[in-house]
Amino acid sequence: MNADYSNRNADLGALYPDHLSAVMARHDDALEKSGAAHAVIFSGCPRYSFLDDNTYPFRPNPHFVSWLPLTDLPLSYIVYTPGEKPRLIYYQPQDYWHSVPGVPEGYWTSGFDVRVVHAADDVIEHLPAERDKCIFIGELDDPAHAFDIERINPSSTMNILHFARGRKTAYELACMRLASRRGVAGHRAAETAFRNGQSEFEIHQAYCKAVSLADNELPYGNIIALNEHGAILHYTDLDRDAPSEQRSFLIDAGAQVHGYASDITRTYALADAQFMNLIERMDALQRDIVSRVRVGIDFRELHIETHRLLGGVLVDADIASGDPDTLLASGVTSAFLPHGLGHLLGVQVHDAGGHMENESGNVIDPPSGHPFLRLTRVLEEDMVLTIEPGLYVIDMLLEELRGSPAEAHVNWNTVKWLRPFGGIRIEDNVRVLPNGQENMTRDAFAAA
CATH number for 50: 3.40.350.10
The letter for the amino acid at 21 is S
Instruction: Centre a 10 Å sphere on the Cβ of residue 14 and count the other Cβ atoms it contains.
Output: 12
Instruction: Say yes or no: 154 and 177 in one domain.
Output: no
Query: Do 117 and 106 form a contact (C-beta atoms < 8 A)?
Result: no
Instruction: Say yes or no: 116 and 14 in one domain.
Output: yes
Instruction: Say yes or no: 142 and 257 in one domain.
Output: no
Instruction: Say yes or no: 88 and 188 in one domain.
Output: no
The candidate with the shortest Cα–Cα distance to 384, out of 260, 292, 291, is: 260
Label the pairing between strands 113-117 and 134-137: unpaired
Query: Do 291 and 437 form a contact (C-beta atoms < 8 A)?
Result: yes
Measured CA to CA in angstroms, residue 364 lies from 165, 307, 353, 368 at distances of 17, 20, 10, 12
Which of the listed residues 140, 164, 188 is the one where a domain comes to its end? 164
DSSP string, 316-355: HTTSB-S-HHHHHHTTHHHHH--S-S--B-SSSSS-TTTT
Query: Do 63 and 41 form a contact (C-beta atoms < 8 A)?
Result: yes
Q: What span, in angstroms and rounded, lies between the C-alpha atoms of 299 and 378?
A: 6
Which of the listed residues 141, 164, 187 is the one where a domain comes to its end? 164
Residue ranges of the chain with per-residue pLDDT less than 50: 1-6
Measured CA to CA in angstroms, residue 346 lies from 6, 202, 349 at distances of 22, 28, 6
Instruction: Say yes or no: 101 and 174 in one domain.
Output: no
pLDDT > 70 in the chain, percent:
98
- Determine the pLDDT at residue 3: 37
Query: Do 317 and 278 form a contact (C-beta atoms < 8 A)?
Result: yes
The candidate with the shortest Cα–Cα distance to 340, out of 363, 367, 364, is: 367
H helix runs in 138-247, sequence order: 155-164, 170-195, 200-211
- Determine the pLDDT at residue 7: 52
CA R_g for the chain: 24
Instruction: Say yes or no: 119 and 241 in one domain.
Output: no
Q: 32 φ, ψ to 5°?
A: -60, -45
Q: What span, in angstroms and rounded, lies between the C-alpha atoms of 126 and 129?
A: 9
Query: Do 185 and 210 form a contact (C-beta atoms < 8 A)?
Result: yes
**Domain encompassing residue 31:** 5-164
H helix runs in 223-375, sequence order: 273-291, 299-316, 324-329, 332-336
Instruction: Say yes or no: 194 and 54 in one domain.
Output: no
Instruction: Say yes or no: 336 and 433 in one domain.
Output: yes
Sheet holding 436-439, edge to edge: 384-387, 428-433, 436-439
Instruction: Say yes or no: 154 and 180 in one domain.
Output: no
Instruction: Say yes or no: 41 and 91 in one domain.
Output: yes
Q: How many domains does the chain have?
A: 2
Instruction: Say yes or no: 160 and 56 in one domain.
Output: yes
**What's 214's domain CATH number?**
3.90.230.10
Which of the listed residues 149, 164, 179 is the one where a domain comes to its end? 164
Instruction: Say yes or no: 215 and 349 in one domain.
Output: yes
